[in-house]
Chains A and B, each alone.
Chain A
């Protein structure tokens, strides 16, 4: 089985749809779905593949002995990630067959999904930083195209643009970091990376932080998190696949890949501590924002932000195993939650406001049950997959010298329970509060079967364990090996579950409208006004600067300097014109050409 199939299958599907099948919606959707099913099968077949020398890289750029290659790195880490990407990708494709059934641009949608699968595969299998950057950008494009799927809606078009530009800010740092790190280790290739002992920790730290900048964009970490909630303008299956399960986790994946490559050289550096702080702050802020959202997708979006913050924090704590493990379990249950919300939105006639739902448990039993299973996994209910992975992050935080991270993690866990149960209570229980919810009925099997299939890993993926995902020996030396055991971490986990549940029950069980009305929660509801602050910063700096630049360019340089020159030359020209009676521009230009040629000729030869 040739690993290149992992690239070829989705790329061929995207290309064929783009070039030939634009008008054949049905065939496009089938082709795209078939390609992802095939990719999933190939991934499973490659699971025991052990011949890296069998994969010949493609020389993309060659200058002398300098080469940039597109290769394939198949190891435990990338195989595990490929299972997530293609597995969830496959279920999302199938779900979309139902969800996007009546969409006018179904062919474009599926073409772009295939494009995404291709790009994401590239990130996962990248052998070097430049290749990762290439696919990093392509994933950004796919995300842009899919968020803007309904581009005629202003909100969707704006959200797509915002996502791309915010990510670009991260990419600016990412590229700078890649180049700086190239200067440190002398290579772009992951398997050859090493840190010279004598390098200054300042330079190293800056380069690590710049590389982390890329992850900040893609994984939507504070302060670049603002694009992700807006990205919910895209069709819900896209939110599930790209903006919950896979693409947004790419930042975490990249960091873990980077740490793995450094292996034993991975040393304590102030950069990692900064990364933990950013992750922790993101986790906390996003969880607070999530407590007051009414849009069902927005709650899940902020929850995603918060969980990504968790993972990033774990990476910063040098517990890449815990981060990858949480990424792995989170992908399944968050994908499930998003698809579930998609089914609910679909059933309620495209209503997204949770307060206009209610009582759906009886009307949509399968969707509701699977959604609740996903919720249990997310709030780390014992024995679900999320319980194990969150436990591991708590343990990692506990072992870290700085206890703050542990308490942040525990607090976020309580908040998570609180906002998720709030959502479950108001959506599934009580009575229907709007026409759409009254008429809702269970979705068809093309949509609930993927939900049921996702519910299985949401429950049992935890038994897989982190060892199978990140078995790298160099890694384990640095990160203390962690096994779940009774201790402070376990008590904190259970404790936050109970506190969160009780609070959610008190405030929201059986309620028909928001019961918390105080100024602090208003700040949460308004997302700490970060969007507004950014908007005014952009308005007052970028636009002002641009206007000044335009002014100087046009009037100072353009009119005064050059215009002055032009005017004096025009005056001169007028004198000549009168002298030579040649009134038009053509002749002037012609004379000038002849003149220049004559000047050279005479200066040089006579």
Chain B
């Protein structure tokens, strides 16, 4: 059954690209089917582990399983965002094959990566998903698409190679690919940790390896931006939690100070960069980089104190919430451009008058991103902050705050920064008097609203009842 989660989008992608089956319909059916299977797999207590021999070497089999709750959550995230993504964006005429097969290929790759139980396929599936991302930006992207595509190809390519080096070094130390055999490496922990931090970090846009993200998301067609920012980017965080935390806990601890500086730069520095953005799409792209900082904060808290049992659920919950909310943002921002022809904030205004439901949905996701209670992101963020202070008390450490506590307090300033840029963006796009670009904007049709409403419902459900995710992580 888990195999189907990978095979369905893969087969659909191949069928669309090579055999000319109706692209949109097949993609929708495949995505819907995937979501149904994922829901079933998540709710059934013991899902069968799949084992297949796909390579010549009999020792290396494709093993797919819900390794633990974290895989289950990521599987759900992938399935949900995929379904929303195939409904998103406006495909240029004659490009349906490429458009939909790429989206499905990314979905298949992400699903494979999160369901793999060994490092080899975990890595290979991710690379599989990256290729269509590059292609779609290079071929159907907006703006200076060739340059952007080159930039992220090289950037993520280099990141992947550094990552590969780290993973190989780790495997070399441990002598096995399988997740279940992973243990703390005997030697070279510091080297492995640094390679993994830089490698995974680049893929998650950890400062200073983040500058690919905003232009890439601004250029990418909506479904690609949704799938990459929402799902594929979480691969790096997942990898850090799944592999790095087990293989090199001491090594990561060695680099903790560096990681804390980097994540604070993600939140504060990139936050300030976000404020200075003049376009909605680059603003959202940068905000997604900024919010990675909070997840890194949870990871740092876990590195500093392995007993911190709030940190991991906090990180995973926020990964999920961010995935949903950023996908919804890119979906909506694409609709704005579709109706007004521009994403320059200074050229927009008063859109709430002509497109009230778009304004409502965008306001909702803006509030989610700001961290408003009742929506999923807040639950994740507040848990991250609590994780930052978990285990600290006035009588330990001589009454001094530790590095994680100080980082937590500085990170809290991020809630002000995100309110500043999000509300400024919202104010200038949707409020105030109507302007030339917005006065004739037509309302969204129900089918155009559908993906955002779907994602909004997920944000609301998880926000009101975060235990629906947390109980998977027991």
A540 near B: Cβ within 8 Å?
A: no
Residues from chain B with a CB closer than 8 A to the CB of A66 are: 309-310
A175:B415 contact, CB within 8 angstroms: yes
Assuming A134-B373, A158-B427, is B467 touching A61 (CB within 8 A)? yes
Residue in A141, A546, A558 with the greatest tally of chain B CB atoms within 10 Å: A546
B264 nearest CB across to chain A (Å): 13
Closest B residue to A63 by CB, please name it: B313
Give Cα A566 to B151, complex, Å: 6
B394:A203 contact, CB within 8 angstroms: yes
B276:A550 contact, CB within 8 angstroms: yes
Binding-face segment, A32-40, A266-274, A350-358, A584-592: A584-592
A55 near B: Cβ within 8 Å?
A: no
B134:A196 contact, CB within 8 angstroms: no
Give Cα A172 to B55, complex, Å: 54
B314 nearest CB across to chain A (Å): 8
- Chain B 455-474 near chain A by CB (<8 Å), digits 1 or 0: 00000000001110011010
Total A-B contacts with CB atoms under 8 angstroms apart: 200
Give Cα A577 to B321, complex, Å: 42
B444 nearest CB across to chain A (Å): 15
A138:B372 contact, CB within 8 angstroms: yes
A562:B155 contact, CB within 8 angstroms: yes
A138:B353 contact, CB within 8 angstroms: no
A588:B433 contact, CB within 8 angstroms: no
For residues 282 through 332 of chain B, which have their beta carbon under 8 Å from a beta carbon of chain A?
309-310, 313
A60 near B: Cβ within 8 Å?
A: yes
The size of the chain A interface, using a CB distance under 8 A, is: 76
A464 near B: Cβ within 8 Å?
A: no
- Chain A 252-263 near chain B by CB (<8 Å), digits 1 or 0: 000000000000
B416:A168 contact, CB within 8 angstroms: yes
Binding-face segment, A176-184, A340-348, A388-396, A489-497: A176-184
Residues from chain A with a CB closer than 8 A to the CB of B272 are: 542, 545-546, 549-550
Closest A residue to B120 by CB, please name it: A600
B131:A593 contact, CB within 8 angstroms: yes
- Chain B 385-408 near chain A by CB (<8 Å), digits 1 or 0: 110110011110001000001001
B146:A585 contact, CB within 8 angstroms: yes
Closest A residue to B367 by CB, please name it: A141
Binding-face segment, A77-85, A148-156, A446-454: A148-156
Residues from chain B with a CB closer than 8 A to the CB of A569 are: 154, 158
Give Cα A160 to B430, complex, Å: 13
B282 nearest CB across to chain A (Å): 10
B420 near A: Cβ within 8 Å?
A: yes
- Please tell me which one of the listed residues A60, A152, A562 contacts residue B151 in the complex, with CB atoms under 8 A apart: A562
Closest B residue to A140 by CB, please name it: B372
- Chain A 134-145 near chain B by CB (<8 Å), digits 1 or 0: 110110010000
Assuming A183-B393, A200-B399, A546-B276, is B466 touching A60 (CB within 8 A)? yes
A592:B313 contact, CB within 8 angstroms: no
Contact-residue size bin, chain B (C-beta under 8 Å from the other chain):
35 or more
Residue in B374, B386, B430, B467 with the greatest tally of chain A CB atoms within 10 Å: B386
Assuming A179-B385, A562-B151, is B350 touching A597 (CB within 8 A)? no
Assuming A179-B408, A184-B393, is B309 touching A63 (CB within 8 A)? yes
A161:B423 contact, CB within 8 angstroms: yes
B393:A186 contact, CB within 8 angstroms: yes
B361 nearest CB across to chain A (Å): 12
- Please tell me which one of the listed residues B127, B392, B423 contacts residue A165 in the complex, with CB atoms under 8 A apart: B423
Give Cα A203 to B155, complex, Å: 45
B124:A600 contact, CB within 8 angstroms: yes
Residues from chain B with a CB closer than 8 A to the CB of A600 are: 120, 123-124, 164, 168
- Please tell me which one of the listed residues B120, B131, B393 contacts residue A589 in the complex, with CB atoms under 8 A apart: B131
Closest A residue to B208 by CB, please name it: A557
Assuming A585-B135, A600-B123, is B171 touching A165 (CB within 8 A)? no
Residues from chain B with a CB closer than 8 A to the CB of A585 are: 134-135, 138, 146, 149-150, 153
A130 near B: Cβ within 8 Å?
A: yes
B394:A196 contact, CB within 8 angstroms: yes
B15 near A: Cβ within 8 Å?
A: no
Assuming A176-B412, A179-B385, A596-B161, is B273 touching A549 (CB within 8 A)? yes
B273:A592 contact, CB within 8 angstroms: no
A179:B389 contact, CB within 8 angstroms: yes
A302 near B: Cβ within 8 Å?
A: no
B190 near A: Cβ within 8 Å?
A: no
A558:B211 contact, CB within 8 angstroms: yes
- Chain B 256-279 near chain A by CB (<8 Å), digits 1 or 0: 000000000000011011011100
A59 near B: Cβ within 8 Å?
A: yes
Give Cα A590 to B134, complex, Å: 10
Residues from chain B with a CB closer than 8 A to the CB of A203 are: 394, 399
A402 nearest CB across to chain B (Å): 28
Residues from chain A with a CB closer than 8 A to the CB of B161 are: 596
A533 near B: Cβ within 8 Å?
A: no
Give Cα A557 to B309, complex, Å: 36
Residues from chain A with a CB closer than 8 A to the CB of B466 are: 60-61
B128 near A: Cβ within 8 Å?
A: yes
A148:B431 contact, CB within 8 angstroms: yes
- Please tell me which one of the listed residues B208, B399, B424 contacts residue A161 in the complex, with CB atoms under 8 A apart: B424
A565 near B: Cβ within 8 Å?
A: yes
Residues from chain A with a CB closer than 8 A to the CB of B408 are: 179
A547 near B: Cβ within 8 Å?
A: yes
Give Cα A168 to B383, complex, Å: 18
Q: Is the interface of A mostly helix, strand, loop or mixed?
A: helix
- Chain B 114-157 near chain A by CB (<8 Å), digits 1 or 0: 00000010011001101100110011000000100111011101
Give Cα A566 to B154, complex, Å: 6
- Please tell me which one of the listed residues A152, A172, A550, A565 contacts residue B158 in the complex, with CB atoms under 8 A apart: A565
Residue in B123, B127, B161, B424 with the greatest tally of chain A CB atoms within 10 Å: B127
For residues 157 through 216 of chain A, which have their beta carbon under 8 Å from a beta carbon of chain B?
157-158, 160-161, 164-165, 168-169, 171-172, 175-176, 179-180, 182-184, 186, 196, 198-200, 203
A168:B313 contact, CB within 8 angstroms: no
- Please tell me which one of the listed residues A59, A157, A182, A561 contacts residue B427 in the complex, with CB atoms under 8 A apart: A157
Closest B residue to A590 by CB, please name it: B131
B431:A157 contact, CB within 8 angstroms: yes
A62 near B: Cβ within 8 Å?
A: yes
Residues from chain A with a CB closer than 8 A to the CB of B470 are: 61-63
Closest A residue to B391 by CB, please name it: A183
A73 nearest CB across to chain B (Å): 18
Residues from chain A with a CB closer than 8 A to the CB of B432 are: 151-154, 157
Closest B residue to A558 by CB, please name it: B211
A596:B273 contact, CB within 8 angstroms: no
Give Cα A157 to B383, complex, Å: 32
For residues 546 through 578 of chain A, which have their beta carbon under 8 Å from a beta carbon of chain B?
546-547, 549-550, 553-554, 557-558, 561-563, 565-566, 569-570
A12 nearest CB across to chain B (Å): 14
B352 near A: Cβ within 8 Å?
A: yes
A184:B394 contact, CB within 8 angstroms: yes
Assuming A62-B467, A543-B276, A600-B124, is B389 touching A588 (CB within 8 A)? no
B419 near A: Cβ within 8 Å?
A: yes
For residues 479 through 533 of chain A, which have their beta carbon under 8 Å from a beta carbon of chain B?
none
10 CB < 8 A contacts A-B = A152-B432, A172-B415, A180-B389, A200-B394, A546-B273, A553-B270, A565-B158, A569-B154, A585-B153, A604-B168
If A549-B269, A565-B154 are given as contacts, then 11 extra A-B residue pairs at C-beta distance below 8 Å, sorted by A number, are A62-B467, A152-B433, A157-B431, A158-B427, A175-B412, A557-B208, A562-B155, A566-B155, A585-B149, A589-B130, A605-B57
* 10 tightest A-B CB contacts, nearest first: A157-B431, A546-B276, A134-B373, A549-B272, A151-B431, A550-B276, A558-B211, A589-B134, A546-B272, A546-B275
Chain B interface residues toward A at CB < 8 A: 55, 57, 60, 120, 123-124, 127-128, 130-131, 134-135, 138-139, 146, 149-151, 153-155, 157-158, 160-161, 164, 168, 171, 177, 208, 211-212, 269-270, 272-273, 275-277, 309-310, 313, 350, 352-353, 367, 371-374, 378-379, 382-383, 385-386, 388-389, 392-395, 399, 405, 408-409, 412-413, 415-416, 419-420, 423-424, 427, 430-434, 465-467, 470-471, 473
